[in-house]
Amino acid sequence: MKNIFDEDFLKRLEHLRLVSRKMRAGKNSGERRSPLKGQSVEFADFRNYSSGDDFRYIDWNSYARTEKLFVKLFMEEQDLLLNIFIDVSKSMSWGEPPKERLALQLAAAFSYLALAAYDRVAIAACSEQLAAYQAPLRGKTGIDQAWTFLGQLSFAGSTNLNQALREYGRFSRGPGVALLISDLLSPHGFHDGVKFLQYLRQEVIVLQLLAPEEINPTLHGDWRLLDSESGESREISASSRLLKAYRKKLDDFTEANRDFCFRRGIGFLQVSSATPFEELILQLLPRAGILA
């Protein structure tokens, strides 16, 4: 997997930081601000002294001016748990270029960025169930491990994100950021799964990967379409009207997902698998507010 990035690109990645719109409490002090006030150098606020407070934090200068005891509050810096959920169903290996390639690149990039920022990264592979799980890794030493895990993933089986995400509940280690990378093309949908993640206090980001042929099919004539996962067939006469209806359907589908995500405070981005990775990392993701 290392050959996905050259050194120059890795350096540029280092400058990017994952931002989470809400600050999450973590187990270890990290480089990320936490909504909990704690021991850091960054001043946050004052509050009245109450008995039991550590009087090391009393602001004596204020006491001198006002003869009242105030306690200084500081922002506590915590580490972040990034959970990457990658769809490894058969449909992800379809497309030109295959969606799995970009999915792996993204997972690799996010885990690199997170680990480089002293955050923790866990990776879950989802198909009809939770296919594989990498427990949280920490520090730059985890990068190799994460990439190795990603490199060993095989794309097969059908998709049932709800089921897979529900199974993740067993491994949940507290609040964090959940990044779901999938084509979302599943009759079961993903809403229940995402809602479950939110229940697990995850800030969810959904990246929908679609192949160009899925976004804008160029079929012509009579076709028997075979589902890569279920093997089911569907006969169509590809007319311009049908293709138009398909595009309309896709737009509606995307819009419904976007709407769902917006209402639940979930980040959502649909990406073509043909999008150059650099453009995605350096432009699209920052623009969507997923990367700073």
Partner 1 sequence: MSLLNPAGLGFAAIIPLIILLYLLKRRFQEKVISSTYLWEEVLKDMEATTPWQRLKKNLLLFLQLLAAVLLVMALSRPYLPVAGGLEKQLLVVLDASASMMASDVTPSRWGMAQKEVEKLIDRLGPGEKMTLIKMGEQPEVLQAASGDKNELRRALRDAQLETGRADLEAALSLIASLSRDSRDIMLLIVSDGKTLPMEHDPGIKCPVEFIQIGRGSDNLAITTLATRRDSGQVLALARVQNFGEKAVVSDIELRVDGELFDIREIKLEAEGAREIIWEDLPAGAESIQAILQRPDFLPADNEAWAVVEELTENRALLVSQGNLFLEKALNLLPGLELFKTSPAEYDPALADYQLFIFDSWLPAGLPQASIIIVNPPPGNPWLAINGEAKNLSGIKAAGEDSNLRYIDSSDWQVARSQKLLCPDWARTLLESEGVPLLLAGQLSGRVAIFSFDLHESNIPLQTGFPILVHNLVGWLLPGNAGASFDLNRSRISFDPHPEAEAIYLQRPGEKEERYLPPFPRSFSASHPGLYQINQVLGDRIESNFLARNQGDPLESDIKPATLPWQAFEAESRGGGERLGKKELWPWLCWAVLLLLLLEWEVYRRGY
Pick the closer one to partner 1 by CB: 194 or 290.
Answer: 194
Task: Kindly state the smallest distance separating residue 168's Cβ from partner 1, in Å.
Answer: 22
Task: Kindly state the smallest distance separating residue 101's Cβ from partner 1, in Å.
Answer: 14
Task: Kindly state the smallest distance separating residue 9's Cβ from partner 1, in Å.
Answer: 28
Q: Which residues of 4-43 are buried (b: 16+ CB within 10 A; e: fewer)?
A: bbeeeebeebeebbbebeebbbbeeebebbbeebeeeeee
Pick the closer one to partner 1 by CB: 4 or 243.
Answer: 243
Torsion of CA 151, 143, 102, 288, to 10 degrees: 160
For the beta sheet containing 267-272, the strands, ordered from the edge strand earlier in sequence to the opposite edge, are 130-138, 120-126, 81-87, 176-182, 202-210, 267-272
Task: Kindly state the smallest distance separating residue 90's Cβ from partner 1, in Å.
Answer: 8
Pick the closer one to partner 1 by CB: 4 or 238.
Answer: 238
Task: Kindly state the smallest distance separating residue 129's Cβ from partner 1, in Å.
Answer: 18
Pick the closer one to partner 1 by CB: 8 or 222.
Answer: 222
Give yes or no for a contact between 120 and 111, defined as CB atoms under 8 angstroms apart: no
Distances (CA, A) of 233 to 186, 229, 230, 248, 284: 15, 11, 9, 22, 35
Pick the closer one to partner 1 by CB: 242 or 292.
Answer: 242
Which H or E run includes 270? strand 267-272
Could you say which DSSP state residue 97 is in?
A: T
Task: Kindly state the smallest distance separating residue 214's Cβ from partner 1, in Å.
Answer: 6
Pick the closer one to partner 1 by CB: 21 or 248.
Answer: 248
Residue 177 has, within 13 A of its CA and on its CB side, a CA count of 25
Residues that bind partner 1 (CB under 8 A): 91-92, 94-95, 99, 159, 183, 185-187, 211, 213-214, 219-230, 232-242, 245-246, 249-250, 253
